[in-house]
Amino acid sequence: MTEARAEEVKLQEDRNDTPTRELDRLFREHAPKINGLCRYLLGSRDAAEDAVSEVYVKARQAQVLYDPRHSFAAWIMSIARHYCFDLLRRRRVEARLFTADEIDADALPDTAARGQTPLTRVVDRESRQAVRAAIEKLPRHYRLPLVLRYYEELAYDDIARALGVTRQDVATLLFRAKQKLRAELTPAAPTEGA
């Protein structure tokens, strides 16, 4: 960990000498993680590959703004997140990621009730693949919080800030996302109120 920190400091120091090479190296190191995030957020492998290139360009442009006191991973991931959100916003007519209606919509069971059983650990590869596919197919307003929470491991407050919703909304959306996954993956199970 300290070694990684030292490298990041080096990036800062070398800024005038070989900063680009250093950035390239760090970027390449984090590329798979960036790619994964973009993939989940944008929902397409090709779009993710494009996005990674774009994120690289943006990182190059914003290189001087990088503060080595913070982790490189957090910095580059936030660039990637912002870029993907911008893309998602552009796909919509209005300049919002999702609307209040969408947060309130879907007549899912009351958040207080304990309707479904949580997904149990599935071990075989097919089921894992199915879970992954189900996550990728989630509607945007469920997918985004879920990915930010469990892929990026952001705190609720950070997710709320990134998505422009309240902390309570984040909890609700995560809850519903999981409900949706459970319903999706256990078709035989009764889904109340759906």
Nearer to other proteins, 97 or 174 (CB): 174
Q: Which helix (H) or strand (E) holds 161?
A: helix 156-163
Question: Shortest CA distance to 65 belongs to which of 78, 53, 50?
Answer: 78
For other proteins, the closer of residues 69 and 114 by Cβ is: 114
CB of 37 to other proteins, least distance (A): 10
| Min separation Cβ 123 and other proteins, Å | 10
Smallest distance, other proteins to C-beta of residue 59, A: 10
Q: Which positions touch other proteins (CB under 8 A)?
A: 24, 27-28, 31-32, 35-36, 40, 44-46, 49-50, 52-53, 56-57, 111-114, 117-122, 125, 128-129, 131-132, 135, 146-147, 149-151, 153, 155-156, 171-172, 174-175, 178, 181
Q: How far is the CB of 124 from other proteins (least distance, A)?
A: 12
Shortest Cβ 150–other proteins spacing (Å): 4
What are φ and ψ of residue 113, in 5° steps? -75, 160
**H/E/C letters for each residue in 58-111?**
HHHHHHHHCCCCCCHHHHHHHHHHHHHHHHHHHHCCCCCCCCHHHHHCCCCCCC
Closer Cβ to other proteins, 8 or 152, answer by number: 152
Distance CA(149)–CA(173), nearest Å, equals 11
Considering the complex, state which of residue 55 and residue 97 has its C-beta at the smaller distance from other proteins: 55
- 40 near 87, Cβ under 8 Å? no
